Amino acid sequence: MEQNTLDIVKTPVPFITLNDGNKMPQVGLGTFKADEGDDIVGLIKSAILEHGYRHIDTAKVYFNEEKIGQALQECILEGVKRDELFIATKLYHDKDKHNVEEACREQLKRLQLDYLDLYLVHWMSPYIDWDNQENYVQPTPAHKVWEQMEHLVEIGLVKSIGVCNCSCQMMLDILTYAKIRPAVNQIELHPYFSQRDYVDFIRNKFNIQVTAYAPLSAVNWTFKKPEYNELNLFKEQLIVDLAGKYSKSVAQIVLNWHAVHRKHLIIPKTAKKERLGENINIFDFKLEQTEYEEIDKLEKGARFYDPLYFSYGVWRNWPYFS
């Protein structure tokens, strides 16, 4: 890891070097449902200008790329250089897979950017068109999608490419034909669902980094198994006690576990400006090794973003796992 020199942040945010040589800030701002609170333009500007965020994560299906693009341009006008920013978005799981370059260019227009730092395939599986009675499974196979992703790197629209929600089996399949291997796999990770064996396998064997989405677990996520409804890291006594011991928030303890102990890239999301500083200032302390190991023991295999339990749209009864 290399240290970021941003003096606006109380403690430097490390960069992680990806397998293609590009450097990615270890902490970013997740923007899924980020417009539920403060205006997202103001939120992004506050994150970048006041708290030193340089990594912003979004997706077509978050329906906020245009507002993020506006915020980015306003930050650039105020002196932030484009090459200081790390912007990630995602190719959605629909007809965009048939023409990846066209989809990417449309997203770049919305973001008002000339290139993306990271472009991820949101779901690395065939596009299933539930409205097509003749052919549910659409004809662009995964290897053709990945070939198009590689083309984006070749023509300079994208610096790094990766995947989301990608199972071990699918990852191994990608590696059989990839000319450019995925740099990142963005998956659900938190102390209740650490996917430790899979994370260690793809990092140690293939130098593929992982980004943790829902790093604080999805407390308010509706579509999860009923037996997980009571799981709440913010009420977990171990975490609460550690927060008191180190004079940190519960969120900071959990995010420190991710970044310092497990070395994950993380994109905590918030719609509240007052949480921005808390979520990025997590590197000025370290727990005892035994305390990290106690957090490890909270593992329950609790996948909150579970396609089998999504009750709407294309996800209904779709048995796909990351």
Residue bearing tokens 């430097």: 12
Residue 232 within a domain = no
- Residues of the chain falling short of pLDDT 70: 1-10, 36-38, 133, 222-223, 308-322
What pLDDT is recorded for position 124? 82
The tokens describing 35, both together, are: 């417009």
Q: Is 244 exposed, middle or buried (0-12, 13-18, 19+ CB in 10 A)?
A: exposed
122 is in an annotated binding site: yes
**Annotated catalytic residue, options 62, 119, 198, 309:** 62
Q: Tell me what pLDDT residue 7 has.
A: 47
Q: How many domains does the chain have?
A: 1
User: 3-state SS of the chain: helix, strand, coil percent to 5?
Assistant: 40, 15, 45
The pTM of the whole model exceeds 0.85: yes
pLDDT value at position 132?
73
Q: Residue 303: CA atoms inside 13 Å, Cβ hemisphere, count?
A: 13
On whether residue 308 sits in a domain, the answer given is: no
Q: What is the pLDDT of residue 140?
A: 86
Encoded amino acid at 316, one letter: R
Distance between CA atoms of 86 and 119, rounded to whole angstroms?
A: 11
Element at 88 (helix H, strand E)? strand 86-91
Alpha-carbon distance of 140 to 268, in angstroms, equals: 32
Residue 6 within any structural domain of the chain = no
Rounded CA-CA distance 200/181 in Å is 17
Tell me which residue of 32, 1, 33, 30 sits closest to 18, measured CA to CA: 1
For residue 8, give the amino acid letter.
I
- Please give the Cα distance from 253 to 65 (Å, whole number): 30
Helix (H) / strand (E) containing 170: helix 168-177
End-to-end CA distance of the chain: 26
**CATH code for the domain in which residue 148 is found:** 3.20.20.100
Domain-embedded: residue 248: no
Catalytic, 177? Answer no
Alpha-carbon gap, residue 273 to 282, rounded angstroms:
17
Q: Which of 242, 241, 273 is nearest to 260 (CA)?
A: 242
- Domain span at 185: 15-219+262-283
Query: Is 293 inside a domain boundary?
Result: no
| Position 29 in a domain | yes
